[in-house]
Amino acid sequence: MKEKSELRVVIIGGGIGGAAAAVALQKEGIRADVYEQAPELKEVGAGIGLRPPTINYFKEWGAYEDLEKVTTHSDYMEILTGAGETHSKERWPAMSENQNERYTRFVHRADLLDTLIAQLPPEQVHLSHRCSQILHHEDYVEVHFENGHSVEADLVIGADGIRSVVRDKIFGESKPVYSGYHAYRLLVSEEQTYGWVSKDNNLRIAIEGDVQVYFLPLQLRKQVSLDITAPSTDSSPKPVVTKQQILDSVKNFSPAMIKIVESLTLEDFTCRALYDIDPIERWSTNCVTLVGDAAHTMLHNIGQGANAALQDAGALAVAIRESDTIPEALQKYEAQRKPLTTIYQQLSRVFPKLEMESVLTEKDFY
């Protein structure tokens, strides 16, 4: 392997997974340039919970203090009926044999991305670069962009999401799979939840039949991330829905839940059809690999999408640290991460129901 300071690393995609990969490699003394197709870096949508294995990587990267400023600690999650009655209250499941690590830290996706990007020198982040072509040679890769720019790299990391150009051009097309569900998401104030939000900083999931409503508190923002997940036959990626359709999805919930939706406008919601991909055969060649949704898009039911991307980044950097060559490192990385994320993909396809013994159990994670 070249000296770390001489390695040419290109990351395609400037979201959470791509930014995390650059931060993790920087800790190893490796410069990684991030190329993002959008003219600005931003994250929209839901709040998320970061689990202990992810938090431990932030500590290793020297970024935990910054992360702590934008996150809040939570010990429990609650399952409620559609009437608002408590069905169960559970400690967050341990994701390793360390039983002390039974917590999560809540953060909005935008605040998480901003924290990661702030760790990087500005000259390593390149906006308005849409990848158009990838030429894979024996031990290096050419990457071409629609704006005419091109680069050569010893390692290309595809972090470009469910419709990954890197994945499709190098490993073959993986068509997104529709889940049969829509997600209607927005941020609201605590007052707008009419008592549904937890005062103890717990995630609450209200379930009525096939519909789930998630209340994830973002106390530092004085907001709540609200997600209504409901069945739909419309598989359009960005479906056109009416407010009445959203109201119909919660019609069997309590009057307070209906009041929440009634108080909002259609324009408040981000409406998305929920897709994932089937597990793919492989992620890596001798100088190209994938992280995050490009490798293993999963649904939100077990809350592992962002965590998996961040842990991919950490594991990849460690594999490079412990290997003599890039091909060896990519083999180690895939061997460690792919079996676990394949399980997560399968688990994420199970939408929670009240009759389930538990929404998340420790045996799911180790």
Structural domain that includes position 318:
4-48+111-176+278-364
Number of domains in the chain: 1
Q: Is residue 26 part of a domain?
A: yes
In this predicted model, what pLDDT tens digit does every residue of 99-135 receive, in sequence order? 778 999 999 999 999 999 999 999 999 999 999 999 9
H runs (alpha helix) in 211-325: 243-249, 255-262, 293-296, 305-321
Q: Is residue 299 part of a domain?
A: yes
Does the pLDDT of residue 257 top 60, yes or no? Answer: yes
In this predicted model, what pLDDT tens digit does every residue of 161-192 receive, in sequence order? 999 999 999 999 999 999 999 999 999 999 99
Does the pLDDT of residue 75 top 60, yes or no? Answer: yes
Q: Is residue 190 part of a domain?
A: no
Q: Is residue 116 part of a domain?
A: yes
How far is it, in rounded angstroms, from Cα 144 to Cα 158? 14
Does the pLDDT of residue 363 top 50, yes or no? Answer: no
Going by C-alpha positions, the residue among 179, 161, 168 that lies closest to residue 272 is: 179
Six token digits for residue 197: 């939000």
Q: What is the CATH number of the domain that holds 283?
A: 3.50.50.60
Does the pLDDT of residue 360 top 90, yes or no? Answer: no
In this predicted model, what pLDDT tens digit does every residue of 216-228 receive, in sequence order? 999 999 999 999 9
Q: What is the DSSP string of 4-51?
A: GGG--EEEE--SHHHHHHHHHHHHTT--EEEE-SSSS----S-EEEE-
Query: Mean pLDDT, to the nearest integer, of 262-270?
Result: 95
Query: Mean pLDDT, to the nearest integer, of 322-341?
Result: 97
Please report, as a single letter, which amino acid is at residue 363: K
C-alpha dist (Å) from residue 260 to 109, 189, 249: 23, 11, 13
Query: Mean pLDDT, to the nearest integer, of 144-173?
Result: 97
- Among 87-96, 126-135, 268-277, 342-351, which stretch is predicted with the lowest mean pLDDT? 87-96
More confident residue, 366 or 357: 357
Q: Is residue 74 part of a domain?
A: no
How far is it, in rounded angstroms, from Cα 79 to Cα 5? 49
Six token digits for residue 91: 């400690």
Q: Is residue 187 part of a domain?
A: no
338 close to 283: Cβ distance less than 8 angstroms: yes
Q: What is the mean pLDDT of the chain?
A: 94
Please report, as a single letter, which amino acid is at residue 307: N
Does the pLDDT of residue 275 top 90, yes or no? Answer: yes
pLDDT value of residue 53 = 95
Q: Is residue 238 part of a domain?
A: no
Q: Is residue 343 part of a domain?
A: yes
In this predicted model, what pLDDT tens digit does every residue of 18-69 receive, in sequence order? 999 999 999 999 999 999 999 998 877 689 999 999 999 999 999 999 999 9
Give residue 358's pLDDT band: very low, low, confident or very high (50, 70, 90).
low
